[in-house]
Structure 1
Amino acid sequence: MAEPDPPFTEEQLKTDAVSKKEILQFVQEHASIKFLREHKIYGKLASIAKCTKKDALVVAYQKLFELKAFKKEGEEEEEAEEGAKKDVKKVTKKMEKVGLAAKGAAKEKEEPRYTKKILKKGDGSTFPRKGDTVGCFYKGTLSDGTVFDTNMGGSKKKKGGGDPLKFKVGTGKVIRGWDEALLTMTLGEKAELVIEPIWAYGKKGLPEGKIPPNSTLTFEVELVSID
């Protein structure tokens, strides 16, 4: 690309005969990208002209010819390609964010995979929040009525033997059916929860707990404390 001749004289630059916008436009059209960035005049012409003093633009104009920092052949194409790549990255990131938001929304709208029947009403106002430590008495049965675990009535089976089971609710410490259902209960409430396999122990079941694969589980749960 041939080097341009100076379009403005020194006298013109000192007067209002040449505007900031005219100087900036010439420099942006003919200077290398590196030069523009070094002088902080790379970007939208109107925005830069608005916030840059004329003296600074005159200096950049003079330096352009002094250093012969003109745009090289093909630089525009390279810059356009680089810009296109950045645009693609921006769009991709935006799509990823939209996708994550959609997944989050889908999760929020997901239908409960359990049913709840209140056996005894609680106080009606004291609900646990995610992260609260709750205490529960419970009894779990399989579809055929087999009790696989309980801490009710002074039982000596696992998980308590008469003491409330305590854990932080809503944090994945127990099966999802419990995490979700307990957040709907109030202090003192007793409920029957019928939990589908997907929100219980799923396809694998829990062999050590004598819970077969794909088991729908029924729990009698009483919420006795919230800390």
Structure 2
Amino acid sequence: MKKGLLILSIAALGFAACNGGFKKGASGLLYKIHEDVEGDSIKEGDFISLNIIAKTDGDSVLYNSYEMDRASQTFVPKPMYDGDLFTAVMKLTKGDSATIKVDIDSAEKKGQPRPQGIKGKYIIYTVKIEDVIKKDTTKEQEFQSKIEAFFKAEGDRAKKAETPKLDKYIKDNSLKAQKYPSGLQVATLTEGTGVQPKPGDSVMVNYTGKLVSGKVFDTSLPEVAKKNNIYNPGREPYTTLNLVIGQGNVIPGFDEGVLKMKKGGKSVLLIPSSLAYGEQGMQGGMIGPFTPLVFEIELVNVVPGKGVATPVSPEAPKK
């Protein structure tokens, strides 16, 4: 069936006409449905997969699942108040897309804390409902089995897509990469002239970690962190990563890649998930299952022998 987020009055229709096609909902909610697919509306307890972009009305991006290179999944909660994001989501169906503007002032009046550092009137969500698994309290085991099957299918797709994604990144960035038996690929940007590290040597490296979408998720460089809106003042001072290499202190692809460099060199490491976070991904992080990674590395220094390195940063690409 076709849906409307609300039964609109004549006045509300007039409001929509002068607001770029947006319709008005409770507590200052504004919405516009771009694709309206027939089907049953989402309900509390359903499992959904959606792509979502969240912005301020000043156009600052707060979150973008497309940059994460995977959709987000959640069980649909009971709306915290009439007019929040899920009030709107629960009027959509699989295949729908919409823009939803949540009024921050109204949310605050309803007891929701105002997001820190966000100015303006709205948080604007652009959503695309990719999949819905309907909750059935009489068939709980079947419901859970469908969710398990969903994640297995997603994992299979992600695994098959790894090599094409890395190949595309190499082509799009005009890299010349050497592939090793492990699956690691290394593109040398600057050939180092110093010593090549061996397992057990201490190394100092500058690094920037990316997804193949280009999204930066970690770096040792403060200017890169600020440029990509991931700067964390609590991490100061940003500095080179110092560690004993080849000892499993970082993900295998990082270890192997640095061991193939020379002091003073710069390389791009193209790391398949088997040498990164594998089929589990990084718990609580943005790196999902079967996610290939890209690291830009500068090998600043090499100290032979098993010297004591500065402790690995908690932000470093740990194993």
TM-score of Structure 1 vs Structure 2, range by shorter chain? 0.3 to 0.5
TM-score by length of 2: 0.35
Bigger radius of gyration, 1 or 2?
1
TM-score by length of 1: 0.48
The answer to which structure has the higher helix fraction is 1
